[in-house]
Amino acid sequence: MRRARSATASAPSTTANLGSGFDVFGMALDAFRDTVTVSMSASRGVRVVADGGVPAGARSNTAGLVALAAMRMAGARGLEVRVTKRVPVGMGMGSSAASAAAAAVACDRLLSLRLRPAGLVRLAGTGERASAGAVHYDNVAAAVLGGFVIVRTGPLDVVRMAPPRGMRCCVAVPEVAVPPKKTAASRGLVPRRPRLEDATANVSNAAALVAGMARGDTALVGSAMADAIAEPPRRASVPWLEAARRRAVRAGAAGVAISGAGPSIVAVAPAGADIGAIGEAMRRGLAASRVRCRIVECRPTARGAARA
């Protein structure tokens, strides 16, 4: 049988942390999907063709890094990677993870790597180095597997759960210029040694959030999105957070957090909530800081990275 010359996969946008689970929680959102096609190439190395203004160097592009790692695993000679971006770049919706996850699934198929889900997450994680400067798996695990994920490290293990049925989400994506290497800079603000009281607060909230997911209780999930560790130092770069949170909760949101490393913020709401009103409330919250935004109404999705 002749081997395929190319493979295509897509992967969803995600929101990471959900407040209390820095680098631990991720959730796939049905708002956007990136698509990646990987093809065999006669030229040595990895060549990236990308739209959406993302870097096209193999080592500076998240999908390129994944292809380089996959090529080494398979002993392949050359690959071409075409990236079609739909997830807003650098806004905290898992843009780099969506491309990395789609690239991992496409490479797995093209190069017959036959990776298990954990192997795909690990491979996709190599791409995060391009945007974050360090490997972390919250966004990529959600982008690969779909649903809500809990990432354990040392050794890497991902627990996947279904979010509460009917949960709605709303992401406010601010119209602001994002500095280069935003995620790496934003990660640099997070204390390496948090205070014990803050760690305790986050552990209690993270545990309650998982209980909320397990019970299908969006109100509990939302109230457990409070974050005492990463959010306080990041507030300065998301100055609209408090005003938007106050208004969104008044409009029926269960909870609001910075989405990943920001600058977007995400609200979760139970089935039946008026998500339009929550979005409008968030818009007004950002407007109080004189910032315009795009409101993205979406839902968690079980559909992770998949052949396209």
Chain residues in the site for ligand HSE (CB under 6 A):
16-17, 22-23, 132, 136, 138-139, 183, 186-187, 230, 260-261
CB of 38 to ligand HSE, least distance (A): 23
| HEC assignment per residue over the chain | CCCCCEEEEEEEEEEECCCCCCCCEEEEEEEEEEEEEEEECCCCEEEEEECCCCCCCCCCCHHHHHHHHHHHHHCCCEEEEEEECCCCCCCCCCHHHHHHHHHHHHHHHHCCCCCCHHHHHHHHHCCHHHHHCCCCCHHHHHHHHCCEEEEECCCCEEEEECCCCCCEEEEEEECCCCCCCHHHHHHHCCCCCCCHHHHHHHHHHHHHHHHHHHHCCHHHHHHCCCCCCCHHHHHHHCCCHHHHHHHHHHCCCCEEEECCCCCCEEEEECCCCCHHHHHHHHHHHHHCCCCCEEEEEECECCCCCEEC
Q: Which is nearer to ligand HSE, 20 or 35 (CB)?
A: 20
CB of 17 vs ligand HSE, minimal distance in Å = 5
For ligand HSE, the closer CB: 19 or 163: 19
Q: Residue 248 CB, nearest distance to ligand HSE (Å)?
A: 20
Please give the single-letter amino acid code of residue 214. A
Q: How far is the CB of 12 from ligand HSE (least distance, A)?
A: 15
CA triplet 99, 18, 220: central angle to 5 degrees?
Answer: 140
Phi and psi of 299, rounded to 5°?
A: -135, 155
User: Measured from the CB atom, is 100 or 278 closer to ligand HSE?
Assistant: 100
User: Which residue has tokens 């990471």?
Assistant: 16
Task: Tell me whether residue 17 or residue 218 sits nearer to ligand HSE (CB atom).
Answer: 17
Shortest gap between Cβ of 263 and ligand HSE (angstroms)?
12
CA distances, 122 to each of 105, 151, 172 (Å): 12, 11, 30
> For residues 80 and 128, which CB has a smaller minimum distance to ligand HSE in the complex?
128
**Cα radius of gyration rounded to whole Å, the chain:** 19
Select 111 or 140, whichever has its Cβ closest to ligand HSE.
140
Q: How far is the CB of 131 from ligand HSE (least distance, A)?
A: 7
Nearer to ligand HSE, 8 or 264 (CB): 264
* Between 189 and 243, CB nearer to ligand HSE: 189
